[in-house]
A and B are shown apart, each in its own frame.
Chain A
């Protein structure tokens, strides 16, 4: 933690105990969210999400591959996250570090556990040929709360995905003319809380993240069921705090969902 942050820590914590935040938000208010889809023509699906100044780009690529032996009738879902060095002075080139791996696994968990993609519909020939959905999260600017921005961008990109029509003909994969959307059946939304000085704030930005004791990310599906959780940071929560957060998270996620799912 840099010295400037240690000085600011007190200021941020004192404000929060009075119910205020350095950037003027309410404790349970998210930053402005902007979602743009179809920004990369070469990808089958893509989305760019701005959460305040945090910027994340997600691209979805679909390829033909082989299924995992324990799920021969299901397509494969892979999520990878890159903390691109241009996004923050704290990001370095090289293979993904534990923060990048955690980010990709939390995004993956939300999509997988909510069964957002109907993976059975991505099976071409059981045990042999299935479609593989690669979701690549690219962080372009880091201003805090990468998880929520990435999860939202991933969902928006999936909803935007148009893939080729693949069919099996005499044991070979054939590409038919036209496009088909990905079979999406749930809309997982993640919302992250930071615990600072015993209080909670929704959608922490960078400076709040740097002074927080702990964070808790909750992902809800469209049926208001919890489908993924991740606690981070070196602090702790009590059971009562967790349940309080769960109630706020349920409301927040249904608000955010309306930004990407129009019906």
Chain B
């Protein structure tokens, strides 16, 4: 049984979902979506649907985890059991543990943690539907939830992957492109500080391709950064209108 696999990029360089190689998926971001959380945000990037909430800075439980010189950022990246084709067990997988760590490390440089000694800031990222690039979309949305919580930050962090699919370098890979493609490079970036705070890769790239891939993901991050700022403003315009009424 041999079935010819559908190409993911056609001869004109158009991808399976109609995008150009350097085009992001359609992205919608909303800030302040949960009323119990100190800060929250929601993102839809293609078929990805991700919620993020921030609680804190508040007292640390258990108490021995408190740090004398700064706040402790805690992060949980979690996928809902129904977010993927085959049901995922709700218990944290090794992948989720690793991603929680790298997401925390991607966001830590942006926060003035030293302003809140002996406290914790708890960040929860729930992936409701996953379709490739959830760690990056998770960082993008979590950074907004932190800003929405009013936590002093050096910059917003935007994240986006780029990679190689069927010999071509492309931005913002979908699930299929990631699985069948040759390489995937997720990257998180603070544009105002020119700082890369998350960098991972799997697949195979020459040094030359690697350089181009990074440049491509940086461009994607810059576009997302504009969307982030727009989403933050929208919330506060709405608040201002409420007050004036």
Measured CB to CB, the residues of A under 8 A from B are 96, 98, 101-102, 104-105, 109, 112-114, 216, 221, 224-239, 242-243, 246-247, 250
B202 touches A236 (CB 8 A): no
In the bound complex, how far is the Cα of B190 from the Cα of A112, in angstroms? 30
Say if the beta carbon of B98 comes within 8 Å of chain A. Answer: yes
Whether B205 pairs with A105 at a CB distance below 8 angstroms is no
Contact partner of B202 (CB less than 8 A), chosen from A224, A225, A228, is A228
Within 8 A of A (CB), among B175-211: 185, 190, 193-207, 210-211
- List of B residues within 8 angstroms of A105 by Cβ: 94-95, 98
Which chain A residues border B108 with CB–CB below 8 Å? 234
24 intermolecular pairs with C-beta atoms under 8 Å apart: A98-B97, A98-B98, A98-B100, A101-B97, A101-B98, A102-B98, A104-B94, A105-B94, A109-B202, A221-B204, A226-B205, A227-B201, A229-B199, A230-B102, A231-B105, A231-B196, A231-B197, A231-B198, A235-B109, A236-B190, A236-B195, A236-B197, A239-B194, A243-B214
Count of chain B residues with Cβ under 8 Å from any Cβ of A? 32
For the A-B complex, the count of residue pairs with Cβ-Cβ distances under 8 Å equals 90
Is residue B223 within 8 Å, beta carbon to beta carbon, of the partner chain? no
Given the interface pairs A229-B185, A239-B214, A242-B196, the reply to whether A234 lies near B201 with Cβ below 8 Å is no
How far in angstroms is the closest Cβ of chain A from B117?
Answer: 14
A231 close to B206 (CB less than 8 A): no
A226 touches B207 (CB 8 A): yes
Contact of A225 among B98, B102, B200, B206 (CB under 8 A): B206
B218 within 8 A of A: yes
Q: Determine the chain A residues whose CB is within 8 A of the CB of B211 once the complex forms.
A: 243, 246
Starting from the known contacts A98-B98, A226-B206, 6 additional A-B residue pairs (CB-CB under 8 Å) come to A98-B100, A105-B95, A113-B202, A226-B205, A226-B207, A247-B207
On whether the beta carbons of B200 and A231 are closer than 8 Å, the reply is yes
Report yes or no: B215 in contact with A231, Cβ–Cβ below 8 A: no
Question: Smallest CB–CB gap between A260 and chain B, Å?
Answer: 20
Contact A237–B204 (Cβ < 8 Å): no
Do residues B98 and A227 form an inter-chain contact, with CB atoms below 8 A? no
Q: Which residues of B contact A234 (CB under 8 A)?
A: 105, 108-109
Q: Determine whether the beta carbon of B109 is less than 8 Å from that of A236.
A: yes
B235 at the binding interface (Cβ < 8 Å): no
| Residue of chain A at shortest CB distance from B193 | A236
The reply to whether A238 and B101 form a contact with Cβ atoms under 8 Å apart is: no
B202 touches A242 (CB 8 A): no
A237 touches B210 (CB 8 A): no
| B195, A113: Cβ atoms closer than 8 Å | no
Residues of chain A with a CB closer than 8 A to B218's CB? 239
Return B98 CB to nearest CB of chain A, in Å.
5
- Is there contact, CB below 8 Å, between A237 and B195? yes
Closest residue of chain B to A215 (Cβ to Cβ) is: B105
Give the residue of A227, A233, A242 whose beta carbon is less than 8 angstroms from that of B204.
A227
